[in-house]
Amino acid sequence: MDYIAHWIGGAERAGGSGRVGPVFNPATGEQIAEVALASAGEVAAAVAVAQEAAKEWRTASLSKRSAVLFKFRELLAERSGELAAIVTTEHGKVLADAGGEIARGLENVEFATGIPHLMKGSFSEQAATGVDVYSIRQPLGVVAGITPFNFPAMVPLWMCATAIAAGNAFVLKPSEKDPSAALFLARLWKEAGLPDGVFNVVHGDKEAVDAILVHPGIAAVSFVGSTPIAKYIYETGTAHGKRVQALGGAKNHMIVLPDAELDAAADAAISAGYGAAGERCMAISVVVAVGDIADPLVEAIAARLPKVRIGDGSDPSSEMGPLISAQHRDKVADYVTKGEAAGATVVADGRERENLPERGYFLGATLLDNVTPEMTVYTDEIFGPVLSVVRVETYREAVDLVNNNEYGNGTAIFTRDGGAARQFQFDVDAGMVGVNVPIPVPVAYYSFGGWKASLFGDSHMYGPDGIHFYTRGKVVTSRWPDPGTSSVDLGFPQTR
């Protein structure tokens, strides 16, 4: 059985804690590897290596950093197929989806290659007589990323590309459920010429997470995961003096107005609701049908579901793979049971084993109609292939539904009315908005993040916000007086 080690100082390092965790192939249910689980001491060792590496890396010229990023980008593009296969084996998502994940991560690397421009400050000549003032941005030192199982390649790339380009050393704690993608990235960084110790990987569970949150040598922590854990990460990290961006859960609504193009809305609901088996923080989990479009929309979605091909993600014909674990599959199925008991109409029941593979953690695409806001299938982030339909009569009711929800990650509206769409983006309380786009993940030169319980901290991820998160601003005021012209002045400095 394969053993997955840590990556510290530019090489694999076997775990020393004596603890390991199982890694499964969700499509078969078979254990395929063991992963080392780090102790606090092993986290400290990785941080010590990163601290030494950061001292040198921050002195590297911007052009040298950019050259490493360009080479890393080239290698990642060339070997994306290998990485996609690793993601599919350990996560379960289909190969096409794994490839798309890597492509979106690649966009962030491409953005980071522009670091010479992104790190530019400003300059004011003659702010006072003979005095110039200018601003610069400098790296924090050692920063850490704690990433989720659902995007084992993309989310680490959201974090590390920007952090490393800005001159920091990076310690990654990936999910222990699918850890191999992190090691693949580590090897690519080394091949690209990144100095040893600038990118490190420590695998682990809560013990490793807590060690990261309290270690005084880590200046900032980035996190993506569920809201309860995001809140814990933020509170613990900031209590120990760290800068923290913690992205939490979501309950993304797709509002469909009566004038929407029906087929486009139904296609989008299927794509955004069941892609990656619903294990996306930007998945559409609630369709809000406004007025008389509800019946034909539900019928159109239901008609498409039998055509969704469910199977092993490594099979190119599969469109939807398994869930990450048996426990999670059972949890998602239980939500369907509770929703039915609460009065929701089960239009398509993914709990039925017919046409599902015999092995693995599979659940079929589920569609629930007549869902109401007090049901757990509406209030909770299910993180599975369950799409709920809530019926309302007016646009205002639909917006209120979104705004009254505790989450504010992403939302979408489907309409042919430009005025209604513009009003929606003005009215809605969410960080990312799509207009006839069901999964509005921003491109790399913007930034990703939600509102309300979907984000803890004041900084979104990657893009311009990422540069600011991984650097500190410094303002320099300089004066070069002629010899013999200085004098003592105890008054407050004035710009004259």
Q: Tell me, letter by letter, the H, E, C secondary structure of 255-289.
A: EECCCCCHHHHHHHHHHHHHHHHHCCCCCEEEEEE
Cα(366)–Cα(279) distance, integer angstroms:
14
Cα(101)–Cα(91) distance, integer angstroms:
12
Q: Tell me, letter by letter, the H, E, C secondary structure of 339-352.
A: HHHCCCEEEECCCC
Which sign, positive or negative, has the C-alpha torsion 273, 279, 280, 281?
Answer: positive
**Rounded to the nearest 5°, which phi and psi values hold at 90?**
-95, -30
Whether the CB-CB separation of 29 and 360 falls below 8 Å is answered with yes
Strands 366-369 and 252-256: unpaired
Cα(278)–Cα(271) distance, integer angstroms:
10
Cα(158)–Cα(83) distance, integer angstroms:
16
| Strands of the sheet with 432-435, listed across from one edge | 345-348, 366-369, 386-392, 284-290, 252-256, 410-414, 432-435
Catalytic residue list contains 160: no
Q: Output the CA angle 385-390-393, nearest 5 degrees.
A: 155
The burial class, CB within 10 Å (0-12 / 13-18 / 19+), for 303 is exposed
Residue of 281, 288, 323, 412 marked active site: 281
Helix (H, G, I), strand (E, B) or coil at 375: coil
- Write the DSSP symbol of residue 414: E
Q: Which two tokens stand for residue 119?
A: 């790190």
For residues 377-404, b (16+ Cβ closer than 10 Å) or e, as one string? bbeebbbbbbbbbbbbeebeebbebbee
Strands 11-13 and 6-8: antiparallel
420: which residues sit within 8 A by CB, 6+ positions away?
257, 395, 413
Catalytic residues: 281
